[in-house]
């Protein structure tokens, strides 16, 4: 007994009843193969079947009532690009065979000459060849993505950042030299603020590109105190916003193994947003407490809530508030929460949000103190 073969589902597109019957008979008689043939007479029916059925291969006649020639191949591949195609033709035409392969077919058979074993071999060969072709395409796509990432990171990291550093550095120098008239000082101050803002956006884009195209965030864990980081983040924002009231409540144990820079970036994004998207006269609350073997951090602000229909996408990249509806001027690219979410995820933690008119907006994250077994090195 030959080994039990996997069932192959093949679509036969052939309008000539005698040819179709012959092929079906031949395929039935091959003992080593189990082949289920779905037979249609027209290209339009074939398009419908490939859309609906899961097929392993197609046997395609090139002269059909509703389609003639090599165009039949591309019409079917448009609907089912992953299904291998073996072309059937009445004439032994070398030229046509080559053209069929160029159009995306994997093989070519002359109708009068087919036998069961030959058909089966052509089908298996076509399936294998298609698999290899797709694998090569995937590798090529990955190479292109990697190349694009490198170019993009280089543009952001050097080509854009260097001139910007020159602008903000020199604006800073001019401000420190003094001797400027008040309108001059104001203008240079605006240059300085705008270039700093642009630098923050470029940093966000760099982080985004690394996370999206590079397969996530690298996390360098070391023992650190989360309470200290939160204190520092709040202090920095207090300096930048002296008129705002910050309420910081820390309880329990702040120690854990995390990436201090990344955690500071995440906290700073959340608290920065809370300041940015709430009324000047309302407080921003930051709290931390123990939660199982982790730390629970919450950031709360009042003001216009995030619209409910936007909440499910709020951690997606480039999602921003509605223009004109927000009570703050737009300054970011909508990458802050995406980056924050990626950082928390890379630490094995969770980040959630609730946002309502009555309660305001609450972002909270839980950070496990140590690397989980799955993500730690053996
Ligand atoms: N604390 C918050 N309160 C209200 N809305 C917020 C808050 N944080 C974020 N948002 C909304 O989510 C959007 C996305 O935030 P973020 O990813 O940080 O991007 P950006 O701040 O660059 O717009 C913001 O544009 C804002 O509309
Ligand atoms: Mg933001």
The percentage of the chain sitting over the pLDDT mark of 90, rounded to a whole number, equals 71
pLDDT at position 320: 83
Q: β-strands 57-61, 85-89: how paired?
A: parallel
Residue of 321, 356, 361 with the most ligand 1 atoms within 8 Å of its CB, for mutation? 321
State residue 285's pLDDT score. Answer: 98
> Which parts of the chain are beta strand (E)?
7-13, 34-40, 57-61, 63-64, 67-68, 85-89, 107-110, 222-225, 246-250, 255-258, 284-291, 294-301, 350-356, 360-368
pLDDT value of position 329: 54
Instruction: Take atom 11 of ligand 1 and give the residue whose Cα is closest.
Output: 321
Is the pLDDT at 253 greater than 90? The verdict is: yes
Q: What is the pLDDT of residues 122-142, one digit of tens each?
A: 999 999 999 999 999 999 998
Residue 215: what pLDDT?
67
In the structure, which protein residues have their CB atom closer than 6 angstroms to any atom of ligand 1? 269, 273-274, 277, 301, 306, 314, 319-321, 326, 332-337, 361
pLDDT at residue number 182: 96
pLDDT at 373: 63
Specify the pLDDT at position 23: 93
Q: Which atom of ligand 1 is nearest to the CA of 306?
A: 5
How far is residue 277 from each of residues 185, 215, 263, 363, measured CA to CA in Å?
Answer: 28, 31, 21, 13
Ranges 63-67, 81-85, 213-217, most confident: 81-85
Which-ligand-closest: CA of 320? 1
Whether 261 has a pLDDT exceeding 80, the answer reads yes
User: Which one is predicted more confidently, 294 or 149?
Assistant: 294
Q: Name the more confident of 270 and 214.
A: 270
CA nearest ligand 1 atom 27, residue: 321
DSSP secondary structure letter of residue 307:
P
Res 32: pLDDT:
82
Taking CA atoms only, the protein residue closest to ligand 1 atom 13 is: 320
Q: What pLDDT, in 10s, does the model give residues 360-369?
A: 999 999 999 9
Structure tokens at 257: 């193994």
| pLDDT for the residue numbered 3 | 52
- pLDDT score at 311: 94
Sign, CA dihedral 255-259-260-264, equals negative
User: Degrees (nearest 5) of the Cα angle 170, 268, 302?
Assistant: 120
pTM over cut 0.85: no
The CA 338 to ligand 2 mean position distance, Å, reads 9
* Residue closest to 221 by CA, chosen among 27, 357, 371: 371
- For the stretch 318-369, pLDDT in tens is 888 765 444 445 567 899 999 999 999 999 999 999 999 999 999 999 999 9
- Looking at residue 4, its pLDDT comes to 56
Per residue in 219-232, pLDDT (tens digit) is 899 999 999 999 99
Is residue 378's pLDDT more than 70?
no
Residue 158: its pLDDT value, please?
83
Nearest protein Cα to ligand 1, atom 20: 334
Please, which pLDDT band fits residue 211 given cuts at 50, 70 and 90? confident
CB atoms within 5 A of ion ligand 2 belong to: 273, 332, 336
- E strand map for 142-278: 222-225, 246-250, 255-258
Q: Which band of pLDDT confidence, cut at 50, 70 and 90, is reported for residue 1?
A: very low
CA distance 109 to 114: 7
Q: What is the pLDDT of residue 310?
A: 92
Distance in Å, CA 207 to ligand 1 centroid: 17
Give residue 374's pLDDT band: very low, low, confident or very high (50, 70, 90): low
Centre of ligand 2 to C-alpha 6, Å, is: 54
Per the prediction, the chain carries an average pLDDT of: 90
What separation in Å is there between the alpha carbon of 269 and the centre of ligand 1?
9
Q: What is the CA radius of gyration of the chain?
A: 32
Ligand 1 centroid from CA 320, angstroms: 6
**Ligand 1 site-directed mutation target among 309, 337, 341, 343, most atoms within 8 Å of CB:** 337
Overall average pLDDT of the 293-306 stretch: 96
- Which pLDDT band, with edges at 50, 70 and 90, does 377 fall under? very low
* Mean pLDDT value across residues 226-255: 96
- If one residue of 306, 307, 352 were mutated to test the ligand 1 pocket, choosing by the most ligand atoms within 8 A of its CB, it would be 306
Lowest pLDDT segment from 28-37, 72-81, 237-246 = 28-37
Distance 330 CA to ligand 1 centre (A): 9
pLDDT digits (tens, 9 = 90+) for 29-54: 888 888 999 999 999 999 999 999 99
| pLDDT at site 327 | 45
């Amino acid at each position: 007994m030959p080994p039990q073969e996997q069932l192959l589902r093949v679509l036969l597109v052939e309008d000539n009843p005698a040819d179709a019957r012959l092929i079906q008979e031949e395929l039935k008689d091959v003992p080593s193969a189990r082949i289920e043939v779905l037979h249609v007479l027209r290209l339009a029916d074939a398009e419908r079947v490939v859309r609906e059925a899961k097929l392993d291969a197609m046997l395609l006649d090139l002269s059909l009532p509703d389609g003639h020639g090599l165009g039949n191949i591309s019409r079917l591949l448009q609907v089912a690009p992953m299904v291998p195609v073996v072309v059937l033709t009445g004439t032994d035409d070398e030229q046509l065979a080559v053209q069929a392969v160029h159009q995306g077919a994997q093989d070519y058979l002359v109708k009068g000459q087919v036998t069961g074993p030959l058909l089966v071999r052509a089908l298996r060969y076509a399936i294998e060849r298609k698999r290899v072709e797709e694998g090569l395409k995937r590798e090529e796509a990955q190479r292109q993505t990697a190349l694009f990432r490198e170019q993009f990171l280089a543009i952001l990291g050097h080509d854009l950042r260097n001139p910007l550093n020159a602008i903000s550095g020199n604006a800073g120098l001019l401000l420190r030299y003094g001797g400027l008239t008040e309108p001059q000082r104001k203008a240079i101050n605006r240059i300085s603020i705008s270039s700093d803002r642009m630098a923050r956006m470029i940093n966000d884009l760099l982080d985004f590109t690394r996370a999206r195209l590079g397969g996530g965030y690298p996390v360098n864990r070391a023992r650190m105190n989360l309470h200290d980081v939160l204190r520092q983040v709040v202090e920095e924002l207090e300096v930048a916003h002296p008129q705002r009231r910050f309420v910081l409540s820390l309880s329990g144990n702040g120690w854990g193994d995390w990436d201090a820079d990344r955690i500071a970036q995440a906290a700073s994004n959340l608290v920065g947003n809370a300041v940015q998207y709430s009324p000047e006269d309302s407080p921003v609350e930051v709290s931390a407490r123990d939660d199982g073997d982790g730390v629970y951090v919450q950031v709360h602000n009042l003001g216009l809530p995030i619209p409910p229909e936007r909440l499910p996408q709020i951690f997606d990249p480039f999602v921003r508030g509605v223009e004109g509806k927000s009570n703050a001027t737009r300054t970011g690219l909508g990458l802050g929460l995406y980056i924050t979410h990626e950082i928390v995820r890379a630490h094995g933690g969770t980040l959630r949000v609730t946002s309502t008119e009555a309660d305001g907006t609450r972002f909270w994250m839980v950070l496990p103190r140590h690397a989980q077994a799955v993500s730690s090195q053996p």
